[in-house]
């Protein structure tokens, strides 16, 4: 540090030893400088009379460093260096932190959906993608679905299903899937004929797009009118075909969920598409959900006379009897339900008796699932109509008697099971 940054103090005679910079400060006697020592004749007179005063300490200057000024200069220097870095002319080309490039600034209030509708028609690809992503968030609200339907957004979404960008098609099907999860959205599907427009994406190369399509159909068939719409458009045969070719098990489950409810309405088109053979393959799947849903679909197929005949013709009853011993309760319950309908005809009765179906059905009467017990009781009633089945069930009448008096939490379930047990007893004890 320069001398200008220090303070010089003249010192008088001091006591104690003089130390360096690291020593303790010197103690002054009176706090004022001493007079200079006598020289010349005065010094000679003092020596003549024998009085020799001690030599005074020479007047000196001690430099005391001021830490405050030194720290201040250090801070100023560091500040100037950092300011020089901040003021550099080169700017970063990276996006700011926590900024999502896919988000779009939506209008406030009632102007949000009309503006998004305009952006859906934009020529800019990024603008269309951002508008679709905003719609994915808004369509969770049924009120927004109703407003979007009224201002014509559904027609814009139908047009975007044909977009050349796979991302646009993916987000469009996602918006439609979210829309179909609400009752007002299902109404919009039916009003604007979205079902047929979606069917053109069944062969889309993007698996995400196809997955959204299957989920949209699955949500739509939750109401009978939605299932009837899919049947009327002739899409059952396409769904049966996709059930065979889709590799993803999750997609197969979505298709089976859709077919189960559609086959309950009408199985004619499906029977013409060899649906029984396809479902027979799915009964052998390692996935328990696929096995259960395939058995449920066969239950609905077997409601019709033609379905019963095909189940017997393609030897599906043997597999259904094997599934009665499946470790999953839902699989056993649905297999018993399919046997319940398939054994209505004589051919089905004897096919089940040859496959030794009575023993696993009797074990299913003790299942924790009420539906499984009900299906098993009705299936055994069908088998008891054959003389061989009636003879085999004679010893198990007390089991059915116990079901007649069993109580349940739900009165409707108790009434259905008790009535089925009474009918089974009457059939078993029938004597021609």
Average pLDDT of the chain, as a whole number: 82
If DSSP codes are grouped into helix, strand and coil, which group holds residue 420? helix
Distance CA 417, CA 304 (A): 23
The pLDDT value recorded for residue 91 is: 67
pLDDT band of 166, cuts 50, 70, 90: very high
Look at residues 410, 411, 421, 326 and name the one whose alpha carbon lies nearest to residue 375: 421
pLDDT reported for residue 70:
56
DSSP track, 270-330: HHTTTHHHHHHHHTT-S-HHHHHHHHHHHHHHTTSHHHHHHHHHTT-HHHHHHHTT-SSHH
Q: State the sign of the Cα–Cα–Cα–Cα dihedral 399, 402, 404, 406.
A: negative
Each residue's pLDDT tens digit, 117-163: 999 999 999 889 989 998 988 889 889 899 988 898 999 999 999 99
What are the tens digits of pLDDT across the range 3-19?
A: 444 444 444 444 444 44
Give the three-class secondary structure for 16: coil
- Checking if the pLDDT of 90 tops 70, the result is no
- For residue 431, what pLDDT is reported? 83
Q: Rounded CA gap, 69 and 7, in Å?
A: 11
Burial classification of residue 147, based on how many CB atoms lie within 10 Å of its CB (0-12 exposed, 13-18 middle, 19 or more buried): middle
Q: In the beta sheet, which residues pair with residue 64?
A: 7
Q: Report whether pLDDT(26) > 60.
A: no
Confidence of residue 113 (pLDDT cuts 50, 70, 90): confident
pTM, two decimal places = 0.74
d(CA 209, CA 412): 42
Look at the block and give the residue holding tokens 């009434």.
415
Print the SS3 string covering 99-167: CCCCCCCCCCHHHHHHHHHHHHCCCCHHHHHHHHHHHHHHCCCHHHHHHHHHHCHHHHHHHHCCCCCHH
How far apart CA 377 and CA 347 sit, in angstroms, is 19
The stretches of 233-267 forming alpha helices (DSSP H) are 236-245, 249-265
In 3D space, the residue among 424, 401, 403 whose CA is nearest the CA of residue 413 turns out to be: 403
């Amino acid at each position: 540090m320069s001398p200008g940054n220090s303070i010089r103090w003249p010192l008088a005679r001091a006591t104690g030893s003089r130390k360096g910079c690291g020593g303790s400060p010197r103690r002054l006697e009176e706090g004022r400088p001493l007079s200079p020592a006598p020289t010349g004749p005065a010094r000679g007179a003092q020596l003549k009379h024998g009085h020799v005063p001690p030599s005074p300490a020479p007047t000196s200057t001690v430099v005391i460093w001021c830490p405050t000024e030194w720290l201040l200069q250090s801070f100023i220097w560091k500040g100037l260096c950092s300011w020089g870095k901040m003021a550099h002319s080169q700017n970063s080309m990276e996006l700011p932190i926590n900024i999502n490039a896919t988000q779009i600034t939506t209008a406030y209030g009632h102007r949000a959906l009309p503006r998004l509708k305009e952006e859906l028609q934009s020529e800019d690809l990024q603008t269309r993608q951002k508008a679709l992503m905003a719609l994915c968030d808004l369509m969770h609200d049924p009120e927004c679905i109703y407003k979007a339907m009224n201002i014509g957004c559904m027609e814009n979404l139908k047009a975007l299903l044909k977009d050349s960008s796979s991302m646009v098609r993916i987000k469009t099907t996602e918006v439609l899937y979210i829309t179909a999860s609400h009752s007002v959205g299902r109404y919009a599907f039916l009003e604007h004929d979205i079902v047929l427009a979606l069917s053109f994406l069944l062969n889309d190369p993007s698996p995400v797009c196809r997955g959204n399509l299957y989920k949209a159909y699955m949500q739509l068939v939750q109401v009978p009118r939605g299932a009837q719409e899919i049947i009327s458009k002739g899409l059952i045969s396409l769904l049966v075909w996709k059930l065979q070719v889709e590799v993803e098990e999750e997609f197969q489950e979505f298709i089976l969920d859709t077919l189960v409810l559609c086959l309950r309405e009408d199985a004619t088109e499906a029977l013409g598409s060899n649906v029984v053979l396809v479902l027979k393959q799915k009964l052998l799947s390692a996935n328990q959900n696929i096995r259960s849903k395939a058995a449920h679909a066969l239950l609905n197929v077997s409601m019709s006379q033609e379905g019963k005949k095909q189940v017997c013709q393609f030897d599906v009853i043997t597999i259904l009897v094997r599934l009665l011993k499946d470790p999953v309760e839902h699989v056993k319950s649905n297999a018993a339900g399919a046997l319940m309908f398939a054994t209505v005809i004589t051919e089905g009765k004897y096919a089940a008796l040859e496959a030794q179906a009575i023993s696993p059905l009797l074990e299913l009467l003790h299942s924790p699932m009420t539906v499984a017990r009900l299906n098993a009781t009705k299936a055994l009633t069908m088998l008891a109509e054959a003389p061989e089945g009636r003879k085999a069930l004679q010893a198990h009448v007390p089991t059915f008697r116990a079901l007649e008096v069993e109580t349940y939490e739900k009165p409707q379930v108790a009434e259905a099971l008790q009535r089925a047990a009474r009918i089974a007893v009457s059939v078993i004890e029938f004597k021609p």
